[in-house]
């Protein structure tokens, strides 16, 4: 029985290794190249008040970018759409909980201005309505910021996967 488990485990491990799986952030030849490409992205200012400011700053930090458009070879344009919906209503028709849906569209362009990849990420933030309007506003802003940070991480992952896949698709020069 133990021998059968060991053989089965070994067979499964060899199948997983042969499928082309490799870690995105592992120590491969494309890791440094991908990190360098992410660092060469200029994130355009996002015109959505404080939430756009928070999202832009998070993206710049995650990319480890300079924030200088003259030094970068890629440009990321981001737009945010928010929708707020009351989801918990009391008997007196007072809304006690809101869900805010953040929909973020992005497009990455090269130095020539051609779109090389684009996508949409959506996040949900929820907050309770309390007696204090200030506390409710603070809860909303905090929930929306957390959703924006989550979306920034997903955008970075999307772009890292894109750069890693394009690096693998290129033919590599032979090693000497």
Per-residue pLDDT of 118-166, as tens digits, reads 999 999 999 999 989 999 999 999 999 999 999 999 999 999 999 888 8
Q: Long-range contacts of range 108-114, CB-CB < 8 Å, 24 or more positions apart?
A: 108/41, 108/74, 108/75, 108/76, 108/159, 108/162, 109/74, 109/75, 109/77, 110/73, 110/74, 111/73, 111/74, 113/75
Instruction: Write down the pLDDT at residue 55.
Output: 93
Instruction: Write down the pLDDT at residue 96.
Output: 87
The domain defined by 28-169 folds into Double Stranded RNA Binding Domain (3.30.160)
**CA 42/CA 56 separation, integer angstroms:** 10
Residue stretches of the chain with pLDDT short of 50 = none
**CA 99/CA 77 separation, integer angstroms:** 26
């Amino acid at each position: 029985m133990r021998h059968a488990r060991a053989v089965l485990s070994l067979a499964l491990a060899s199948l997983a290794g042969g499928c082309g799986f490799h870690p995105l952030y592992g120590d491969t030849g494309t890791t440094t190249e991908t990190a360098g490409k992410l660092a060469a992205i200029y994130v355009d200012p996002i015109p959505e008040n404080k939430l756009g400011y928070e999202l832009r700053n998070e993206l710049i930090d995650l990319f480890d970018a300079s924030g200088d458009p003259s030094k970068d070879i890629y440009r990321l344009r981001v737009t945010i759409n928010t929708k707020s919906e009351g989801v918990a209503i009391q008997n007196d028709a007072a809304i006690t909980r809101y869900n805010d849906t953040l929909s973020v569209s992005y497009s990455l362009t090269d130095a020539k201005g051609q779109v090389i990849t684009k996508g949409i990420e959506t996040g949900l933030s929820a907050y309770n309505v309390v007696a204090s309007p200030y506390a409710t506003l603070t809860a909303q802003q905090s929930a929306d910021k957390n959703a924006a940070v989550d979306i920034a991480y997903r955008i970075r992952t999307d772009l890292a996967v894109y750069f890693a896949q394009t690096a693998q698709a290129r033919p590599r020069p032979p090693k000497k």
